[in-house]
Structure 1
């Protein structure tokens, strides 16, 4: 009997520095969105596996947290070099399990390298403070790690999003449980291998695979002190409520409906190319995608040029696949419902097929005009290469449309007027604003995080803001000179 051999070995949990099989777990097939083929299997672990990971992390914490931060980050200097050395391999893994183009997958890993580089700078950012507050009396403030923490990552960035949390949280002295998406579990194992090669002690990073059950277990586990989550708003709310009800810190990033406000004076070519790239990059599967364009006044030349640019984006060439067959069906259903509701399809990406990968999950670039704000495609996160164009008579109406969204991740304005740009910067209801930029992602050390229902919890997930989330303050007041003048402070 002939047995099919999968392209990648069965995914295993990573606990105490070793890959371990979970014999009691159910398993799930892992598909490559490029071809639709099964490439591996992943365990759907239960509480027992999480308990083992937490015990390993608790055991590693005393020695790891006691190590000076300048010594801890030396591991990340070495790790950064390993990421650079294995860039091509890591890029291929991201492409295989997520479906990105090679260029997009490479950019994701390069961003992970930048995030690691920021972690190497943490000793300069968390130096303690000390002041003589009264004669002979000193106060000192230091940042201390929380203990065992957890990071729940999504499918759309299998390499980058773990690097939003792993380097910073661990460099700051915590030990971590990473729960990757069960749809893209392969990259996480390679991250763990490279960190171990860089010198990370066993137990400091542990990986537990699973689905809803393991996420709930993380939120409930009494020894996990903080949880970060990236995913849909629906699940982010549940995670935030469950984790905080168990008295944990939590920052939960949800979905988005990012509005690109296009004014009549916008540069035609620059705007068209930026909007097309924003709506289609990573197949639209990113929370910073520009999925709603608000056309202010007479912008017909820009829309025409936009459609021309979008036609250059070809599935299987410079447009990757979406994550699953179910995602493809859902995205195409949004397009059909908008068309039935009266919107005009300027470019239709439904029923896309890529020669040689006919079973892959592809949706072509789609531009839909005359979408009204009440349509589902205008309000809900589609998460595909689809742009809904909503018409507005003036800038205030455009901002009212943007402000009415439940989300608040990003918003951009395209104009050559500094005054109008400033007006949008001040009045858009979003945490990240762009001017003539379709994807306004902050670079380190600036932090990533939205507003409204795009983020739940205090602090952002990256950059300087993350330091506050992953640490707690210890304040020490000392007096050694009994002969010093005394007052109410001493």
Structure 2
């Protein structure tokens, strides 16, 4: 068991049920909380990936032969282990990702919920059988693909891997996960707990690394499918490279989520929800509020937002951003917006947390009078920053939302069902909220955006994920002598 309190944590690959450390090149793992090095992560190469793929191929033979009811037993036990170790797992997420403890714990709780959906799959994944003519039966069965891979981002080191791990493995696949080199610690503990839960060696493997190993995963001929979560720029590259290698690929990219606020919106609920959406997880989530589109007279709501956000204490109510580079990038966006005529209502630049002076903190930031042509209105900031664009009417606000290249989420705050319906029908996003700042669907409903927020068919969680991780086997049988001789004979 890893001790999350020790000074340095040794990061290793997990292949065939054993931890390995064969790399010659390592990168430092830095905690965003205080800027201290907490470990070193190996930069794996193609030879190490080959070992993981071979282990997964070997394990696939027996794992895929088990019934789905047998396979879910591992995840019943694993779910209990996640619950038993929730404090330790939350500490790991906080240490490597910079979240507050409450946010880290909520992330692990979401991982538990994702496991709960996976163990329900025997009740959901059922074969289709029909007697299509007298004595002739057609049958469709869901079969696993083989060795699959998942490439995870830095912002949710526990939750996002669990978008794919439980479903893909319960459905009979064997798996290789490549965590972000910035947050490799949580997946090591996941590997230990899965093994403790009884998962056979080789079914789950962890290969650490950077760009090189991502390219190797996309190119490897024995990997049947790849999921990716990260920036849109990289998502496009991964999708193109993986599909060019004749793999299935589902690549989730960035976002620029618009929250449309109407004058009749409930002031307290709207202010608290919008601020929580833009500042939660330090804004480092693809569902964070990035642009508030204020319709007509909404100053009373904006004033309340500023008051709510001002009470959030960095280091307590809002965590750190992932790196010093991220902090500088976010603050540059704020500075450029100010230079271009926007008004800073609440400034989170140059934030320092006492006792953690070398940590990477940006305080909640609210910027008014942003225009749609500004870079801060168009590009993903990935920080606790919200830009306010003002419009005269709802259709103008919807037009602002529609012009975004992204399409993860959009929300409307109003007490009018008719106006809410206009946004629900016209917003160009895959996930819509009404009086909800973070409209993430809960299981069994799937997660996934539109436009340049997603590349590939289907969604990464819920029922929709079943199609991605399986292939259909169709069988037609005829046993009865009396069956008519026809074109099906």
**Residue equivalent to 2:267:** 268
Give the TM-score, by structure 1 length.
0.98
What CA distance in whole angstroms lies between the structure 2 residues aligned with 1:44 and 1:485?
63
Counterparts of 1:354-433 in structure 2 under 5 Å? 354-433=353-432
| Shift, 1:6, TM fit | 6.4
Unaligned runs of 5+ in 2: none
Q: Which residue of 1 aligns with 2:320?
A: 321
Residues 238-261 of structure 1, C-alpha deviations (whole Å, 9 max, x = no match): 000000000000000000000000
Q: How many Å separate the matches in 2 of 1:345 and 1:485? A: 79
- What residue number does 1:293 align with? 292
Cα distance between partner residues in 2 of 1:260 and 1:164: 25
What aligned pairs does 1:423-462 form with structure 2 within 5 A after superposition? 423-462=422-461
Output one character per residue of 1:206-226: Cα deviation in whole Å (capped at 9) or x when no partner.
000000000000000000000
| Deviations 1:66-122 (CA, angstroms, capped at 9, x unpaired) | 000000000000000000000000000000000000000000000000000000001
1:21 aligns with 2:21: yes
Counterpart residue number, 1:99: 98
Q: What is the number of equivalent residue pairs in this alignment?
A: 485
Q: Is the 8 A contact 2:23 2:43 kept in 1?
A: no
Q: Distance in 1 between matches of 2:97 and 2:230?
A: 15
Do the aligned partners of 2:365 and 2:385 also contact (CA within 8 Å) in 1? Answer: yes
Q: Secondary structure at the match of 1:226?
A: strand
Cα distance, 1:13 vs structure 2:
0.3
Corresponding residue for residue 205 of structure 2: 206
Q: CA deviation at 1:483?
A: 2.6
Aligned partners of 2:102 and 2:42: how far apart in 1? 30
Other-structure match for 1:279? 278
| Alignment match, 1:55 | 54
Aligned pairs (5 A) from 1:24-423: 24=24, 26-423=25-422
Gaps of 5+ in 1: none
SS of the residue corresponding to residue 463 of structure 2 reads helix
Note if contact 1:27-1:42 (Cα within 8 Å) is conserved in structure 2.
yes
Which runs of structure 1 show a deviation greater than 6 angstroms over 4 or more consecutive aligned residues? none
Aligned to 1:261, the other structure's residue is in SS state: strand
The answer to whether 1:7 aligns with 2:7 is: yes
Determine if the alignment matches structure 1 residue 486 to structure 2 residue 485. yes
The residue matched to 1:458 in structure 2 has which SS? coil
Do the aligned partners of 1:6 and 1:40 also contact (CA within 8 Å) in 2?
Answer: no
CA distance in 2, matches of 1:44, 1:460: 30
Contact 1:135 1:486 in 2 (8 A): no
Listed one character per residue, the Cα deviations across residues 320-373 of structure 1 (whole Å, up to 9, x for unaligned) are: 000000000000000000000000000000000000000000000000000000
